[in-house]
Structure 1
């Protein structure tokens, strides 16, 4: 039986409920090749199986030397066989210098590299030529990358929950790993509702609007790395919606509905879920106040409001942060501080989320008003401006928190 909450919940409290609802899904793990792990969340800590770099190597093209062989005024040394990258060199004898390439292994006995630009002559001799080179003094360790200087064997490489981008996958490859444990990608069933809603491309009759929510939320979910199945729009018929959900729920890890969660006369989602463990109630947030949360046939359900901006704000405030926290994907939104380019007002008892454009000068310009229907203003925005509970007004130049979209 669904429940109705009359007292508005805080944004944080509702997000906590979403986290608790989805937490069991985070236990599922897939092991995939590195090339398939891009954009996924790491499901277990990874320790370095070897030193990186695995051997001391040269940071420069130059001459490998024994620092003790060269006094402060410099010295003339005999040039021996060069050390190319990928070769295992012979030990360096006293009084000699070995031409060495960037990344090549430091010979045993050598403890420094003198860059080729500092040598006289400043070029490498022919490999077979008997040659000498004059080099300045260099301290031990100069232009030498020690074994394990990046990461030592056994040290933590990546923590569970890390978002796997190119840099993280490059590290795993450098450590010799070929596969990685990642969280299983959740499967979302997305259902839009409303008699007034028709699919884009259909004739638009009086009183009808095109469905923006399906495309808006599907795009946001896919961008977050989630698998999405859409059923098309459901009319305001509770029995039909309940039947649709019964048929598709077994294939989903999460059901998301849009519309039909307020207190009006034709709230189809509330009616269709009347016999299920779902709570409907307000969150102290504008836009996106009406919310639903619970389960249908054992599958978690989130009921978002029907206005397009409310849908996206609900996703950004409640679901996206929880996906990042539990599954390591998507990467968390970048949070910055910026100064308002104009004044604003906000309901003092609600957390207001405004759309805005953050400029290179560190100021954020509001796009449109606070209305939940302003899709064009949303499309012009690159940030969400966070106005916390208890703030009735802010002046031009006041500092605010912004989430980069």
Structure 2
């Protein structure tokens, strides 16, 4: 069996970013991926301006702290003052352009008004040249790149684009993913349970994961545990999608039809990896039609156990989708943190344990690490990446991957 890293490298070596893009209003671009570099239309800020309420001064006019100068003008934000004459200051407010001639701003807390005066200020602290002045273009310069292609657009990126003067952004089209779920024991919430049946939690978990990544997901529902039904659904799902994901039916039992169905409708490149939970992971492709020039749709088959399905989605499907979107993919962000638990059940596979941050800065372990206990993922804040054949003792530093880094 391949290691987790070998399997991820194999998947990512096949993924190529979708080529199509579209120009959309910036207000609709949240959660999309930038297709082209964005250049700023303006300098940001457009003029030197003050970052503090206070007084714009010429430092050469200040011989010592306590100097008293005339207030010659008042400049609120949105106004432009006149050139500052020697021996005068300008009352200025945050965001207002610094007048020509001024080379520093003294914040109002460091100044006082002489008793009985209405047009003078006493500067009580000697300023440095450039103090509290934001320079023209220090954030963005006109004609220079403000955002690069492949950027996932969060609220802060939309703010940068707005400050650059843009109204529309060119973004990659959404990655189209088909999903279906196998198992005659499965029912949807709201339906009566069959004898020996369970509710299908993987459907809502995986569709929500796809939505969180900005995918256009199509739900093909629950497919009966029959080879022909599985093959037919694969053919339908391959037509207008970039990727098919399934849950269940990827083990080696007589009722597990994913492997023969995919091999009949396309090919399998990978089958089983050395991780726990999630050993039965499958990767391949399904033909879009009998005409080979129509190409293929990528296929990833996930285990049916809910924790296995969730964890393998985060570790393998997510980075594959990121690369299809034109984003950076690879290892998820991780940290070394203190384990406040013992894990002495060593396994020859790479294990991913559900843990929670505690108030003392360590990690607690969910007591039941079964692949069927989805509450371990709901309770937890992330995963501990435990290497093969390695025990963990309280106080050890372990590799921690937060769910927050895996769900965006």
User: How high is the TM-score relative to the length of structure 2?
Assistant: 0.89
Residue 394 of structure 1 aligns to a residue in which SS?
Answer: coil
The CA distance in 1 between the partners of 2:53 and 2:8, in whole Å, is 55
The residue aligned with 1:141 is 130
Q: How far apart are 1:47 and its partner, in Å?
A: 4.0
Q: Please give the residue correspondences for 1:143-292 in structure 2 after superposition, counting only pairs within 5 Å.
A: 143-275=132-264, 276-292=266-282
The CA distance in 2 between the partners of 1:295 and 1:395, in whole Å, is 42
The residue aligned with 2:10 is 17
Q: Please give the residue correspondences for 1:5-404 in structure 2 after superposition, counting only pairs within 5 Å.
A: 8-25=1-18, 27-121=19-113, 131-136=119-124, 137-275=126-264, 276-297=266-287, 298-327=296-325, 328=327, 334-389=333-388, 391-404=389-402
Task: Give 5+ residue unaligned stretches, structure 2.
Answer: 288-295, 404-408
The CA distance in 1 between the partners of 2:224 and 2:324, in whole Å, is 33
Contact 1:39 1:330 in 2 (8 A): no
Contact 1:163 1:329 in 2 (8 A): no
The CA distance in 1 between the partners of 2:144 and 2:358, in whole Å, is 41
The 4+ residue runs of structure 1 with deviation greater than 6 A are: 122-125, 329-332
The residue aligned with 2:406 is none
The CA distance in 1 between the partners of 2:330 and 2:112, in whole Å, is 51
Q: CA deviation digits over 1:8-60, x for unaligned, max 9?
A: 011112112222333243x3323222211222223333344433212101122
After superposition, the Cα gap between the structure-2 partners of 1:99 and 1:53, relative to the gap in structure 1 and judged at 3 Å, is same
Residue 75 of structure 2 aligns to a residue in which SS?
Answer: coil
Contact 1:80 1:97 in 2 (8 A): yes
Larger relative contact order (CA 8 Å, sep ≥ 6): 1
Task: Give 5+ residue unaligned stretches, structure 1.
Answer: 1-7
The residue aligned with 1:3 is none
Equivalent residues, number: 392
Q: How far apart are 1:68 and its partner, in Å?
A: 1.0
The CA distance in 1 between the partners of 2:179 and 2:46, in whole Å, is 49
The CA distance in 2 between the partners of 1:124 and 1:345, in whole Å, is 79
The CA distance in 2 between the partners of 1:361 and 1:41, in whole Å, is 38
The CA distance in 1 between the partners of 2:9 and 2:370, in whole Å, is 26
Residue 106 of structure 2 aligns to a residue in which SS?
Answer: strand
Worse-matched range after superposition: 241-250 or 288-297: 241-250
The CA distance in 1 between the partners of 2:12 and 2:345, in whole Å, is 27
